[in-house]
Amino acid sequence: MAGERVSGLSSLLAGVWEFVVGDDWRMAAGVVLALGATALLASAGVAAWWVTPLAVLALLGLSLRRAGGG
């Protein structure tokens, strides 16, 4: 019984990891960094709404550049 729970939990965690990280760990790390920067700036009282959209645009550009071979 306990072995089945551990196996189910490990399968769930592996699925979540695959969904979040997917094929490119760099993009996942970039999103985490952007969210962290947004949280830090917001906690300091700075209007930080612009950080995440800017990071998404930058990450998209990097992803397209790598996909295009440039």
CA 61 to centroid of chain Cα atoms? 16
For residues 57 and 13, which has the higher predicted lDDT (pLDDT)? 57
Checking if the pLDDT of 1 tops 70, the result is: no
Residue pLDDT, tens place only, 2-51: 566 768 888 888 888 888 777 788 888 999 999 999 999 999 999 999 99
| pTM for this entry | 0.71
Tell me the DSSP string of 10-58. HHHHHHHHHHHHTT-HHHHHHHHHHHHHHHHHHHTT---TTHHHHHHHH
Mean pLDDT value of segment 40-65: 95
With CA atoms as reference, report the closest residue to 37 among 24, 22, 53, 25.
53
